Amino acid sequence: MVTRDAGKATRRMLWEMTMTLRINDTAPDFEADTTEGKIAFHDWIGDGWAILFSHPKDFTPVCTTELGTMAGLSEAFTRRNTKIIGISVDPVEAHHRWKTDIATATGSSVSYPMIGDPDLKVAKLFGMLPSELDGTSEGRTAADNATVRTVFVIGPDKKIKMTMSYPMTTGRNFDELLRVIDSLQLTAGHKVATPANWKSGEDVIVVPAVSDDDARAQHGSFEAKLPYLRMVKQPGA
């Protein structure tokens, strides 16, 4: 006999197996209301890059610092042809009210759009809440929405290039997102990869699919630390 709790556990396991979005999956498309008006997500992305980052609830301390930090980095993302958009299950009206607190606390004004998702539709589409969850955001606490705390980096082809989830007690490092964008854009145009802790301008790795002769033709020379680890100057640096 299957108990009610066991049935719920099984449904949740199936949700986790079927709803997890993986790298190179196409990002779900949707329409939603935002602080900048209604959008169709894929149309809004256009032919550039995008970052969708979620937070559990407005008017919470860690999230306030995070959205302010992203506001302060807006120009850096724009230089990288990358749009940023926030989302929580709060209504758009709450986002508008919260903006004042964000500016007061961080000194940065939010100018990027923030999606209001009170019916939980987008959170479910992106696998941040169980698809079988009933109801709306009414009465839900930040702890109830703890899994709505994921960053998705999406390419011009509308495919997911990177995901990152943090616990509610740990503020996210948005400088890392800039580093990831630099790496993704570089490696999309050249047959190279970036090593641990790489920053733009530093040496990169020739991917294994490139032969030594082709590596010399493309880069002039390389440093072979190991037969499969060949370092070259960053293309275009």
Indicate the residue type of 92: V
Q: Which of 120, 78, 71 is nearest to 100 (CA)?
A: 71
Q: Do 98 and 61 meet the contact criterion of CB atoms below 8 Å apart?
A: no
Catalytic: which of 157, 175, 212, 214?
157
Task: State yes or no: is 157 an active-site residue.
Answer: yes
Q: Do 99 and 109 meet the contact criterion of CB atoms below 8 Å apart?
A: yes
**How many beta carbons lie within 10 A of that of residue 199, not counting itself?**
12
Q: Which own/partner pairs from 189-194 qualify as long-range (CB within 8 Å, at least 24 positions apart)?
A: 189/235, 190/235, 191/218, 192/232, 192/234, 192/235
Catalytic: which of 58, 63, 90, 117?
63
Task: State yes or no: is 63 an active-site residue.
Answer: yes
Q: Are strands 82-88 and 114-116 parallel, antiparallel or unpaired?
A: parallel
Counting every residue, how long is the chain? Answer: 237
Q: Which of 196, 186, 164, 188 is nearest to 233 (CA)?
A: 186
Residues that are catalytic:
63, 157
